[in-house]
Structure 1
Amino acid sequence: MEISAAGRFEVRITAADVGKRVSVRRLAGNGPVGEKFTDTVGVLTSWDDDGTLTITRRDGGIVRIPASALVAAKVVPAAPARRRGPAATYRELARVASRGWPALESEPLGAWELRASGGFTRRANSALPTGDPGLPLDAALDAVRRWYGDRGLPAYVQTATGAEGTQELLGAELERRGWVREVSAELWTGSLAPVADRAEGAGVLLSRSADEAWLARYQRKGVSEVALRVLTAGPSVWFATVPGEGAPAAVGRLVVDGRWAGFAAVEVDPALRRRGLAREVMAALARRALEEGASAAWLQVETENTGARALYTGLGFGAHHAYHHYRAPGADGR
Structure 2
Amino acid sequence: MTKAPSPTPDRLFAAMEATWPPARRWPLGPFALRDGAGGGKRVSAASATGPWLSADLDAAEAAMDAPLFLIGPQDQALDMELAAREYTVIDPVLAYAAPVADLVQMLPKRMTTFPHWPPMQIARDLWAEGGIGPARVAVMHRAKGAKTAILGRAQDRAAGVAFVACDGDLAMLHALEVSPAFRRQGSAHNILRAAALWAQDQGATTLSLVVTTANAPARALYTSVGMQVVGHYHYRQK
TM-score by length of 1: 0.65
| Closer/same/farther in 2, CA of residues 215 and 245 from structure 1, 3 Å limit | farther
What secondary structure is seen at the aligned counterpart in 2 of 1:142? helix
| Closer/same/farther in 2, CA of residues 111 and 247 from structure 1, 3 Å limit | farther
Q: Counterparts in 2 of 1:245-324, with a 5 A limit?
A: 248-324=158-234
User: Given that residues 198 and 315 in structure 1 are in contact (C-alpha distance below 8 angstroms), is that contact kept between their aligned partners in structure 2?
Assistant: no
Offset of residue 91 of structure 1: 1.1
Confirm or deny that 1:139 pairs with 2:50. Answer: no
1:156 corresponding residue in structure 2: 68
User: Given that residues 6 and 230 in structure 2 are in contact (C-alpha distance below 8 angstroms), is that contact kept between their aligned partners in structure 1?
Assistant: no
Offset of residue 127 of structure 1: 0.7
1:194 corresponding residue in structure 2: 102
Distance 1:246 1:315 in 2: 24
Distance 2:98 2:132 in 1: 32
User: Given that residues 70 and 233 in structure 2 are in contact (C-alpha distance below 8 angstroms), is that contact kept between their aligned partners in structure 1?
Assistant: yes
CA deviation map 1:195-247 (0-9, x unaligned): 222332522111121222111111543723x3321122212221011246897
Which has the bigger relative contact order, CA under 8 A and spacing at least 6? 2
| Closer/same/farther in 2, CA of residues 289 and 111 from structure 1, 3 Å limit | farther
Distance 2:214 2:132 in 1: 24
Distance 1:306 1:220 in 2: 17
User: Given that residues 107 and 115 in structure 1 are in contact (C-alpha distance below 8 angstroms), is that contact kept between their aligned partners in structure 2?
Assistant: yes
Distance 1:222 1:296 in 2: 25
CA deviation map 1:261-299 (0-9, x unaligned): 101111112222222111111111211111111001211
Distance 2:85 2:115 in 1: 46
Offset of residue 119 of structure 1: 3.1
Distance 1:198 1:240 in 2: 17
CA deviation map 1:46-98 (0-9, x unaligned): xxxxxxxxxxxxxxxxxxxxxxxxxxxxxxxxxxxxx9311321111111112
* Equivalent residue letter for 1:268: V
Gaps of 5+ in 2: none
CA RMSD of aligned residues (A): 2.2
| Overall identity of the aligned pairs, in % | 24
The match for 1:179 among 87, 108, 112 is 87
Distance 1:95 1:266 in 2: 20
CA deviation map 1:128-151 (0-9, x unaligned): 22423xx52x222222223323xx
TM-score by length of 2: 0.89
Confirm or deny that 1:108 pairs with 2:55. Answer: no
Distance 2:47 2:212 in 1: 19
2:123 corresponding residue in structure 1: 214
Gaps of 5+ in 1: 1-82, 329-334
Offset of residue 259 of structure 1: 0.8
1:7 corresponding residue in structure 2: none
User: Given that residues 153 and 187 in structure 2 are in contact (C-alpha distance below 8 angstroms), is that contact kept between their aligned partners in structure 1?
Assistant: no
Distance 1:295 1:128 in 2: 28
Structure holding more helix per residue: 2
CA deviation map 1:18-45 (0-9, x unaligned): xxxxxxxxxxxxxxxxxxxxxxxxxxxx
| Closer/same/farther in 2, CA of residues 222 and 312 from structure 1, 3 Å limit | closer
Offset of residue 188 of structure 1: 1.5
* Equivalent residue letter for 2:70: Q
2:133 corresponding residue in structure 1: 223
| Closer/same/farther in 2, CA of residues 144 and 299 from structure 1, 3 Å limit | same
User: Given that residues 154 and 182 in structure 2 are in contact (C-alpha distance below 8 angstroms), is that contact kept between their aligned partners in structure 1?
Assistant: no
Kindly tell me the number of residue pairs found equivalent between the two proteins.
234
User: Given that residues 253 and 265 in structure 1 are in contact (C-alpha distance below 8 angstroms), is that contact kept between their aligned partners in structure 2?
Assistant: yes
Q: Counterparts in 2 of 1:318-333, with a 5 A limit?
A: 318-328=228-238
Find the structure with the greater CA-based Rg. Answer: 1
